[in-house]
Amino acid sequence: MTVSEATHEGAAVRHIREFCERCDRLTRRQYHEIILATPAGSQFEEHRYELKWLLRTAEALRTVASDPEFPNPSLRQRLDAAAWKMEETWQLLYNPPSPEETEQLEKLIGQTFPDEPRA
């Protein structure tokens, strides 16, 4: 491996690590500021904007990490997990199920767990 190749691989690994750390920071912050609290409209919009860009960035970084020559498979898995968390957060906060979907889910849960109390 040439010095140039090592430099580029190192930069890719560093960028992906930093991205995963940023996703972790957002997850902690959103728990306190969005989920536990009642966020102001501007705070909610800032979160939405940041999450949208993290999702876009995740896709670009996944392209890099999916290369067969990517030097760190465990980091690729960490990136996939971080992207999955961001995708799930988006669905939960910004694309919740419709009332009809909610009703269908409630019926399914009731059929699957008939003896469990529900809120």
Task: Indicate the DSSP class of residue 68.
Answer: T
pLDDT of the chain along its 119 residues, tens only? 665 555 777 899 999 999 999 999 999 999 999 889 888 889 989 999 999 999 999 999 999 999 998 999 999 999 999 999 999 999 988 988 888 988 888 888 888 888 777 66
Amino acid at 108: L
Q: At what angle do helices 41-65 and 73-94 cross, to 10 degrees?
A: 150
DSSP 4-29: HHHHHHHHHHHHHHHHHHHHHHHHHH
Of 63, 84, 66, nearest in space to 20 by CA: 84
